[in-house]
Structure formats: structure tokens, C-alpha cells
Structure 1
Amino acid sequence: MVGRDGARNADRGDAVSTPAGPTGRQRVAAAVALLAALAAIVTAVVVGIIRFPEGLGVLGCVAIALVAAWFGVVRRGWQRITGLTVAVLALAATALLLIRNDGWPYLLVIVAGIAIWHAAGRVAFRVHVHRPAAPRPDRPVLFVNPRSGGGKATQVGLAAEAANRGMRTVELHPGDDLEELVRTAVAQGADGLAMAGGDGSQAIVAAVAAQHGLPYACIPAGTRNHFALDLGVDRNDVVGALDAFVDGGEQLVDLGEVNGRVFVNNVSMGLYAEAVQSAGYRNAKVRTLLGTAPAVLGPSGSELDLRWRGPDGLAHRSAAVILVSNNQYRLGGSIGSGTRPRIDDGMLGIAVVPAREAGSGSGPGRWTHWSAPVFEVDSDHPVPLGIDGEAVVLAPPIRFGIRPQVLRVRLAPHHPGASPSAMQPEGPGQGLLALAGIAAGRSPAARGRAEQRAEPVGSEDTEGVG
């Protein structure tokens, strides 16, 4: 294929999705964060000694505030808000303990230390990969789904912004065949393809771009934009993402395939796939998923006929959930959970929750997840799947593969250019070591091909998975 050959002959140095090393600003920020945390801890220890035993309460509150503020550094969304809220409450308790004993000097040092620890830590772990500008396409075409993401593309005037950048826009209408429209545009001379829509639409355009060796841009006009997140596109900057075809850099990434169909994120089978098939899923995802759970996982539920082999080669005849992804997600309670540190590793990510043991009446087992270039699931019946969140039923066997570094992704120069978890460590202890490494000029290693792990089901933070 033209796309595959062209991608493999490209400069693989631009394909790495993690920064080569921290910037000077990140090194300074890491050093400042460590010094600020040390100042807060030393001050709290001094208070604990000179005002014993009441000072032990101050020491405990400071410890809680430091951990909670760190949680605010490496988490997103409601988890970050929760961490910062706990940190503020812990500092408020510290203030109550110190103010009544004229402990203002100590309080100021502690509050400043924790605030700087949080702010500097965020700067130190902020991802931004700089790539040289790639040649600008002469006839790029942008495909827009105006209904995706609640009409996000229309709200920001995306078509007009694209025209200002020399891009032709093709707007989708009900009943349109997106793949046919994309192939027609290529036949008419398009030399760059961009998609503003959900991840299912992104997969269609990306597949054609990879086949023809054309540059591709992901415009985050969908609802969740998981592919954009892991590529390093700023999901809050829909218009700015168009600059990928102005002065953007290029990155080679992988595509997953299932029975010949391309996917950019993941394919699910079992509990999640059964929920996707439900008519109410689109309007009430969580409620539908929970409503499906008893039928699949409960004591009276039937096991799903999904036959597969684990990383040890042993055969299994059922599973509660199987998730196969285009590169591996971080699962479990680790930092960056639910995102992929990279999408150019050339491996599928496979995560399985085994079904309950027959006759045990117990719930599902533990996550087992590993990487492999191929994976197969068999069954005696047609298998419901969720492919990038869209309901599909395929005839078995279900064969998965990876197309390594076939997609030439263009990324706007002011966007991160890598996944949020590309630089983040796995846990708080490793976080301190990572900060020390950044201060010394070493970039934290993002996990690529992770070892097989088992995690309790229900403990996962899978914000980006789905």
C-alpha cells in the first residue's frame, strides 16, 4: 500500500510521541517544586517539634495538603478539582491551628510552599513536543459533521476559518457516505485530509489518508475526542487545530484494525459492547451500562461466549469485558489512567475482565492487560462490538491487528503534540523521582509496552477509554 510504504520510509525520528528531554523552563519548575515542598515539610516538622503535641496536627494537615495538591497536578477534570479542594481544606485546618498561637510566619511559608509545589509541578509535567513544520498541503479538504459534539463546528464558524487557511470544506448531511466522499475528494486531487467530528468519523478519514499516504489532521469537534487527546491535540481549541495544515509538524502513528475495519481508539466486547447495542445508550451511557451489568455480571447472569487466549497462551471460554485498543491504555489507579502514553508503539493493548466462575455466584475477576501485535476472539454466535463507541455486530472469528506508523498526523505547533500521560509518572513516589529527573535534565519515560498486570475490576479510572 502506498500509505504503509510511505510511512515506513519516512523519518522515524519524528514519530516518537514523547519529548526528547525537558525544556529549561520545565527543569527550573521541577527544581522549584521540590524546594517548595521541602520548605513546607521542614516548616511543618519544626512546628510539630516546638509546639508538641498540637503541632502534630499541623504536620498531618500539611502532609495531606501536599498529597492532595500533587493529585491536582497529575489528574484532570473532577479528580483534579477534588484534589485541590482537599488541599484547600487541609490548609484551612492548618490555619486554624496556627493563627490562634501567632503562627503567621509558619502559615505563610506552608501556604506558599504548597501553592508553589502545585503550580510548578504542573509546569514541569506539561507536555509540549516541538516538531519542525512539514510542507503545507496545496489542496487540503476538511470534512465536517455539523451535528457532532452538539454542533461545535458550526458554533465556532469552522468552515469560514478553514477557508481563511486555504482549506475546502465538505459538510456531511444525513444519509451521506463519508468514506465515499473522502475517496472522491482524493480522486479529485486532495493532498491533505482533515475531519471535524467524532472518533468513528475520524477512523474513516484516517484509514483513507493512510491508504494513500496523505497527511491527516484531527479536528476535535466531537463530544469526547479521545483520539485527539492521545494525539496531543488541544480539545478546547477547535479552530486552532486547523493550523495543523498551515505550519504544523508531522507524527507517524498506528492504526488498529478488526476484521479489516480500521479503528483509532478501541474495540469493546462483553458488558460495554452489550450496552452500546442498547437503544438508550447514546442518551444515557452510564445508566444504560449499569442496567446491562446485572445481566452480564450478576449471580444470575449468563456468561458471554467469547473464546480467547491470554498472554500465557492458555485458552479461555468466556469474559465479562474484552477491550482491544490501538496501543495500550494506562489502566488501574495510576496517573494518566484512561489515556495512551503513545500511539506509535506498533502493538495492540488488550485488557480482559474474566467472567465469574461458573457456580460461584461471585462477581467478575481482575483486569489482565498486555500488549501483542495480533489478537483473536472466537464465538459460536455473531459478536456485538463497540468500535470507537459505535455499535457493530460481526461474524466470528474476530481478528485484530495493528498497522504500525501508517498515519501521517499533522499537529498544530501550539498544541501539546503528545498524550497527557506521555511524561507523567505512575504514582506519587515515582513522581518525586520524576521531578528530580526533570530538574537534572532527564525526561520521565512514558510507559510503552507495559508488562502484564492484574488490577481489581472497578478500580479503574478510564476517562479516556470508550
Structure 2
Amino acid sequence: MTPDVDLTARPPGPHPFRDRFLALDCRLFEAVAARHWPGADPLLPRLSRAANHGVLWFATAAALAATRSPRARRAAARGVASLALASATINTVGKRSVRRPRPVLDPVPAIRRLKRQPITTSFPSGHAASAAAFATGVALESRGWGAAVAPLAAAVAVSRVYTGAHFPSDVLAGAALGAGAAYAVRGLVPTRDLVPPPGRPHVDAPALPDGAGLVVVVNKGSGTADRVRALQDALPAAETVECEPADVRAELEKAAARARVLGVCGGDGTVNAAADVALRRDLPLAVLPGGTLNHFALDLGIEEVRDVVRALQRGDAVRVDVGRFSSGKTRGCFLNTFSLGVYPELVRERERWSRRIGGWPAGVLAALRVLRADRRPLEVELGGRTHPLWLLFAGNGTYHRMGLAPGRRYDLADGRLDVRVVRGGRHPAARLLAAAVAGPLSRSPVHSAVRVRRLRLDGLAPGTLLAYDGEVTEVEGEVTLEKLPEALAVYRPLPVH
């Protein structure tokens, strides 16, 4: 039998809007092909080829990272992450949803054509998506670097039409998808400007327009010569004292005796020593980041020399909490973190290797060595009961996760210690990872977190390692932690409106 066929059915009719749009797209393509831009014929095809497989953008990211600016490095990482998401979306969804053939190359002069023509479908443009994703990602983290990268990204996008690889609408659609990918990445890992740095409570501090009264102690071991020169150029009346790491504390004491404002340039350990001196001398502190991590400076909103210079010139400062620990005759303060258990061992192991292979590789190697070692958990008496712990962490202020990003503090004067513990048991690496993924204020049989003003620990064995702001010491018996609310005045730039 012959199947029923509707002889009255008609093929799909014309789509006036779509047809007009495609006709306009073709006319724009032909207009670009007919136009001659001086210098573009040799340049744009090379630029288009350089962007194949994201090579141009990876090279640009490497150049940004080489500046050693924290903001530039974050911009590079965000740009690469945005590019990766855009490329994955284009190749898995975009190219397969609209199978549009490539333009006919007849109107395009031979000198402009790519030596190897792409074989994938035309819509949307993957090159334009990658360019827009990288440039937008960089700009979301740093407007200055975004403005520097944007012309290069625009040139790559234009080159795809100029060489005949795409219609204009392919490029526009790709660019829109790329920008959307950058914003999607920001939704997962927010930029720092989405959470204003802590700005309370404001305190009156000396304004030093030319730096007179500021004495800055510089740890030469931090490799900060370029930052010191920039500070001297901006504040010519400031005094700088460069010293070896072993002499930092002695030089801080001397500087505090003649300074209106005590300044310090170095990593978190150096800043910790300066804070201890500033507390005892009742001096405001100016922090110029110069170490590998610079957690305290970054949480204050200080990344570059110009940030602390602006705060000093205007007298912008805030009060922050300080954490304090004591164990017998051993006493100290911490601006960032205090920890017992595997982390102090990791810090000590990292210091052994950092000068040989660099900070980040040393950190990875230290983690592998510490977690693979055969050891017993730390025994701690807490609340009258003995607990086996792999880690006890106390933060000076509450640490919050930004999307999938590592934690940072929104408030440096919240009056709380952010205490987290990872309980003893089998598979310490898995337990530590679970605690890191779970985030703050979590409770489980493996880990938990609370916020307190004071904490007392007892029963620590002789030689127990304690880490505070990257420094390591030994304690035994009882350890007491407490907060010193709003104890330290620190310069930090106020938001510019």
C-alpha cells in the first residue's frame, strides 16, 4: 500500500527577515573584501594565523604574568579561563547548531586569503569568541590591561572577515558568546571589585603628601627593588631602610623610634613583625606588599605601590583586629592565620625547598611530602576532652569563599577568630580536601568550624609545631588564642567614586 501523502502540503515559504539579514550580511562581507586598508594586507592574515588554537592569547597571558603585578596575573588567569570556556562552548554547541557554509572567496584578494582554509562551519567565529573572551576576562579584572588588550582582540575579530574566513554576523555572534563566557567565569569566580575591601572602622591618621615622617623597612630577601624605587619617586621625603631578613626586626625597632608612620615592605612574615612593633609603639602601619602571597595587604585592598601611596598622601586608614597567641614564654601575634598540625610542617618543608625551586613548586612538593609521610594526628585537649586532629586553623577574621575561588576576608575588624579543625582518622589528604571544599562554618564527622573570641588548647606534646603568618615556632603544654579588637591602625586606600 502507498502511504498517505498530503498532496496539498507546501514547502516552507520564504522568511523575509532572514533573507534580508543574510543579504545584508553578504553585502557587508563584499564591502570589506572590496576595501583596501593600508598595511592591513600583510598584517591581518598573520594576526589571524597567530590566534589559531589560542596561541596569541596564551602568549599575551604569559607576558601579563611576567610583569609580577598581582592584578595583571589575575587578569591573565581570568582571560585564559574565559577563553577556555568560550572555546569549549563554540566547539561543542555553537558549530553544531548552525551549519552555515563559509563565504565564497571570489571577492577576496588572493594576498589576504589564509594559506590553510578552515574546514569547520562558519557560524559562529571561534577566533572572535576567543578574542572577546580573553579581552573581556582581562578587562573585568583590570580595566587598564583590558584597554591594552582590546585593540588586539578587535583586530583579530576584524581579520576573520578581512581574510574571507567569516561573514560579519559570524564574528559578531562569536564575540557576543566570548564576552558572555567571561561573565560566566566571573559568576563562578567573582572579581575582587565585586566585594569592596574592608573599610571600617575609619581612623584619623597622619596625611603625608611627600612622605615626610614615614620610615619604611624593606626586606631585601623579598626582591622588591622596583617597588621601593616607585615608592621613593612618589614620596621623596620618605626614608627607606633596606636590610637582610635576619635584621628585619632590629631595624623595625630602630625605625619605630624616629617615625610618625612605620612602613614595611616584604611578605606576610615581615609584615607580622612590623605589626608587632607598631602595636607596642602605638604607630600606624603602612604596608607595601613584597612577598609571594601578601594575604594581609591584598585583603586590605593594597596590590600596587600607588595604592599605599594614595592612602598615605590622603591619610586614609582603618583599624583592624590582631590575633594573639601565648604558650608559656612563647608569645606572638598574627594578622592572617594561626595553625597546628600538618600545616606548620608544610610551611617548614616549603621553606626548605623554595629557594631552590621557587615558591609555588616548593609548596606543591611540600604538600606531597607531608601528606604522604607516615605520621600520627596531633593530640589536643579542647574543652576538657582529648581530640586527635590533623589540622587546627584559626583565622584573624572570617574567611569567605568567592564562588569557587580561595577564601578572603571582607571584614578585618569583626572581632572573631575563624576556627576550623580537621579531625584525626584515616586518609588525612582526603579529609583535608573535604574540609577545603566544604568551606566555612561546615560541620561533619570529618571537619567543623566555629567563630569565637578566645580559644584555649592544652596537652600539646613538646616540640609541637605552630605556624603563624608563614612563620613557624615550637610550643608545648597550653596555648591560648585571643582577639585584640581594632588594635592596629593601617593605611588603606578608600574607594574612588
TM range (shorter): 0.5 to 0.7
Residues 264 and 270, structure 2, Cα contact 8 Å, conserved in 1: yes
Residues 320 and 488, structure 2, Cα contact 8 Å, conserved in 1: yes
Q: CA deviation at 1:344?
A: 1.0
Q: CA deviation at 1:180?
A: 3.4
Q: Deviations over 1:386-437 (max 9, x none)?
A: 2211221123312111111111111135789xxxxxxxxxxxxxxxxxxxxx
Distance 1:123 1:117 in 2: 18
Distance 2:334 2:396 in 1: 7
Whether 1:282 and 2:346 are equivalent positions in the alignment is: no
Distance 2:97 2:278 in 1: 62
Counterpart mapping for 1:256-271 below 5 A? 256-259=323-326, 260-271=331-342
Q: Structure 1 residue aligned with 2:464, among 383, 397, 400?
A: 383
Q: Structure 2 residue aligned with 1:303, among 376, 386, 389?
A: 376
Residues 462 and 475, structure 2, Cα contact 8 Å, conserved in 1: no
Per the alignment, do residues 223 and 247 of structure 1 end up closer, same or farther by CA in structure 2, a change over 3 Å counting? same
Distance 1:229 1:123 in 2: 10
Q: CA deviation at 1:242?
A: 2.9
Q: CA deviation at 1:114?
A: 6.0
SS at match of 1:157: helix
Distance 2:75 2:479 in 1: 34
SS at match of 1:337: strand
Per the alignment, residue 87 of structure 2 pairs with: 88
Residues 457 and 480, structure 2, Cα contact 8 Å, conserved in 1: yes
Per the alignment, do residues 239 and 374 of structure 1 end up closer, same or farther by CA in structure 2, a change over 3 Å counting? same
Per the alignment, residue 444 of structure 1 pairs with: none
Per the alignment, residue 254 of structure 1 pairs with: 321
Per the alignment, do residues 272 and 404 of structure 1 end up closer, same or farther by CA in structure 2, a change over 3 Å counting? same
Q: Structure 2 residue aligned with 1:291, among 347, 360, 369?
A: 369
Per the alignment, do residues 334 and 344 of structure 1 end up closer, same or farther by CA in structure 2, a change over 3 Å counting? same
SS at match of 1:100: coil
Per the alignment, residue 115 of structure 1 pairs with: 179
Per the alignment, do residues 97 and 314 of structure 1 end up closer, same or farther by CA in structure 2, a change over 3 Å counting? farther
Residues 98 and 107, structure 1, Cα contact 8 Å, conserved in 2: no
AA aligned to 1:145 is: N
Q: CA deviation at 1:118?
A: 3.8
Per the alignment, residue 450 of structure 2 pairs with: 370
Distance 2:396 2:428 in 1: 34
Residues 232 and 238, structure 2, Cα contact 8 Å, conserved in 1: no
AA aligned to 1:388 is: D
Distance 1:77 1:272 in 2: 29
AA aligned to 1:291 is: R
AA aligned to 1:377 is: L
Per the alignment, do residues 107 and 92 of structure 1 end up closer, same or farther by CA in structure 2, a change over 3 Å counting? farther
AA aligned to 1:214 is: L
Residues 387 and 423, structure 2, Cα contact 8 Å, conserved in 1: no
Unaligned runs of 5+ in 1: 1-74, 296-300, 417-466
Residues 270 and 319, structure 1, Cα contact 8 Å, conserved in 2: yes
Counterpart mapping for 1:376-455 below 5 A? 376-378=456-458, 379-413=460-494
Q: Deviations over 1:315-363 (max 9, x none)?
A: 34221111111112236x9444332222111111111111106xx9996
Counterpart mapping for 1:177-192 below 5 A? 178-188=248-258, 190-192=259-261
Per the alignment, residue 167 of structure 1 pairs with: 238
Q: CA deviation at 1:261?
A: 0.6
Distance 1:226 1:289 in 2: 19
Unaligned runs of 5+ in 2: 1-73, 102-122, 125-168, 356-361, 432-444
Q: Structure 2 residue aligned with 1:323, among 377, 380, 393?
A: 393
SS at match of 1:214: coil
Per the alignment, do residues 92 and 241 of structure 1 end up closer, same or farther by CA in structure 2, a change over 3 Å counting? farther
Distance 2:307 2:399 in 1: 27
Distance 2:206 2:227 in 1: 30
SS at match of 1:382: strand
SS at match of 1:288: helix
Q: CA deviation at 1:78?
A: 4.8
Counterpart mapping for 1:84-233 below 5 A? 84-101=83-100, 108=172, 112=176, 115=179, 118=182, 125=194, 127=196, 135-137=206-208, 138-148=212-222, 151-154=223-226, 157-158=229-230, 160-161=232-233, 163-164=235-236, 166-173=237-244, 175-176=246-247, 178-188=248-258, 190-233=259-302
Distance 1:280 1:252 in 2: 35
Residues 356 and 362, structure 1, Cα contact 8 Å, conserved in 2: no
Q: CA deviation at 1:243?
A: 3.0
Distance 1:384 1:390 in 2: 10
AA aligned to 1:324 is: A
Rg bigger for which structure? 2
Per the alignment, do residues 273 and 199 of structure 1 end up closer, same or farther by CA in structure 2, a change over 3 Å counting? same
Residues 82 and 178, structure 2, Cα contact 8 Å, conserved in 1: no
- Greater Cα shift, 197-206 or 394-403: 394-403
Per the alignment, do residues 255 and 280 of structure 1 end up closer, same or farther by CA in structure 2, a change over 3 Å counting? same
Q: Structure 2 residue aligned with 1:238, among 284, 290, 305?
A: 305
SS at match of 1:86: helix
Per the alignment, do residues 81 and 403 of structure 1 end up closer, same or farther by CA in structure 2, a change over 3 Å counting? farther
AA aligned to 1:180 is: A
Per the alignment, do residues 242 and 388 of structure 1 end up closer, same or farther by CA in structure 2, a change over 3 Å counting? same
Residues 153 and 221, structure 1, Cα contact 8 Å, conserved in 2: no
- Residue identity over aligned pairs, in percent, reads 26
SS at match of 2:419: strand
Per the alignment, do residues 174 and 109 of structure 1 end up closer, same or farther by CA in structure 2, a change over 3 Å counting? closer
Per the alignment, do residues 252 and 132 of structure 1 end up closer, same or farther by CA in structure 2, a change over 3 Å counting? closer
TM-score relative to the length of structure 2:
0.57
Residues 91 and 111, structure 1, Cα contact 8 Å, conserved in 2: no
Q: Pick 1 or 2: higher relative contact order, CA cutoff 8 A, min separation 6.
A: 1
Per the alignment, do residues 79 and 243 of structure 1 end up closer, same or farther by CA in structure 2, a change over 3 Å counting? closer
Q: CA deviation at 1:108?
A: 4.6
AA aligned to 2:216 is: L
Q: CA deviation at 1:126?
A: 6.0
Q: CA deviation at 1:168?
A: 1.1
Distance 2:261 2:341 in 1: 37
Residues 128 and 415, structure 1, Cα contact 8 Å, conserved in 2: no
Q: CA deviation at 1:128?
A: 6.4
Per the alignment, residue 451 of structure 1 pairs with: none
Q: CA deviation at 1:175?
A: 3.9
- In the alignment of these two chains, the number of paired residues is 324
AA aligned to 1:169 is: T
